[in-house]
Structure 1
């Protein structure tokens, strides 16, 4: 069953610039799609459009149907109902998603309270469980902490816990490991892979790194200058790319991987 269906999505600025141009793709329930492209290719704007979160000065046309709800042109009340329940997002930098003045536990508790009606000890236990699910040690201590009091890797796990707390049907992961060091990246990718498999969730994974996308997705859509360049199974995109731009991305990923292997061997 199709969970997310995007048809003819176009994102423009108020001065007439086209940033995403006639983009179409779909994600089935339980499927994992990677959006691949260099910075400025329009992939992050696409995910913001899916959630109805485009910044001021930008607008979307076309159709975005998420779990039966039309996102384009929907009122904010309807969009608020969709976020968290049908789709949730983890951004590249968790500090953009976390309130620096609010304790971690309260930030996870609020969407849980709104979506599930939990309160008191039941809500506190649900928060601890959410933190345990993302393998954070001492969940009670983390819950009492402010975002600046925990590490970057721990903040990203908290952001993932917030995204998964209400069991959304679709997880949108926008460069979730880019700001982390290599060892923490690997742990985060393995965690995301495990949790979405256990929950049979769909994933829309955004990255400029083909190697990362290949680890957590089944299918990939390559974007350049706001348009779709190539789409197919990840192993086909990586092993036998059709388009020159895709071949360039594959070659760059292989050069970077070789350089990292060489550095780690020293």
Structure 2
């Protein structure tokens, strides 16, 4: 069953520039789709348009239907109910995504309370369970901490806990490991992969990293200059690319991998 249906999505600035151009794709329940492209390709704007979160000065046209709700043109008041319940997002930099003036536990508790009606001890227990679910040690201590008092990897786990707390049907991840060191990246990706599989959750994963997309998604859509240039099963797109741009991306990734292997043997 189709969970996210994007048809003819176009994003333009108020001065007439087209940043995403006539983009169409679907995500079924439980499916994991990767948006691939270099910086400026329009993949992050697509993610924001899906949530109705485009910045001021940009307008979306076309159709974005999420769990039966039309996102394009729908008033913000109605979209608030969709976010968290039908879709949730994990952003690239958790230090800016989290409120620096609010303790971690409260940041998880507020959306949980709105969606579930939990209060008092029951709400507190749910917050601790959310932190344990993302394998954070000392959840009581971390719940009392401010974001700057915990590490980058811990902050990203908190962001993931917040996104998953209300059991959304679609998780949107925008370069969620780019700001982390390599070892922490691997841990977060493995955790994300495990959690979404356990919940049979759909995923829209935005990344420029082909290796990451191959690891955590089933299908891939390659974007360039706001347009889709190729899409299909991820192993086909990466293993036997058809579009010239995709071939260039894959060749570049393989060249980098070979250089790293060569350097490690010196």
- Taking structure 1 as the reference length, the TM-score comes to 0.98
User: Which residues in structure 2 correspond to 1:1-266 (within 5 Å)?
Assistant: 1-264=1-264
The SS at the match of 1:101 is: coil
CA–CA separation in structure 2 for the residues paired with 1:260 and 1:190: 22
Deviations 1:152-203 (A, max 9, x none): 1110000000000000000000000111111111111100100000000000
* Unaligned runs of at least 5 residues, structure 2: none
CA–CA separation in structure 1 for the residues paired with 2:158 and 2:136: 8
The count of residues paired between Structure 1 and Structure 2 equals 266
Instruction: Say what the alpha-carbon RMSD is for the aligned residues.
Output: 0.9
Deviation of 1:253 after TM superposition, in Å, equals 1.4
Deviation of 1:259 after TM superposition, in Å, equals 3.3
Deviation of 1:25 after TM superposition, in Å, equals 0.2
* Unaligned runs of at least 5 residues, structure 1: none
CA–CA separation in structure 2 for the residues paired with 1:253 and 1:134: 30
Deviations 1:60-84 (A, max 9, x none): 0000000000000001111100000
CA–CA separation in structure 1 for the residues paired with 2:159 and 2:219: 25
CA–CA separation in structure 2 for the residues paired with 1:212 and 1:148: 27
The SS at the match of 1:56 is: coil
CA–CA separation in structure 2 for the residues paired with 1:229 and 1:15: 25
Deviation of 1:254 after TM superposition, in Å, equals 1.6
Deviation of 1:264 after TM superposition, in Å, equals 4.8
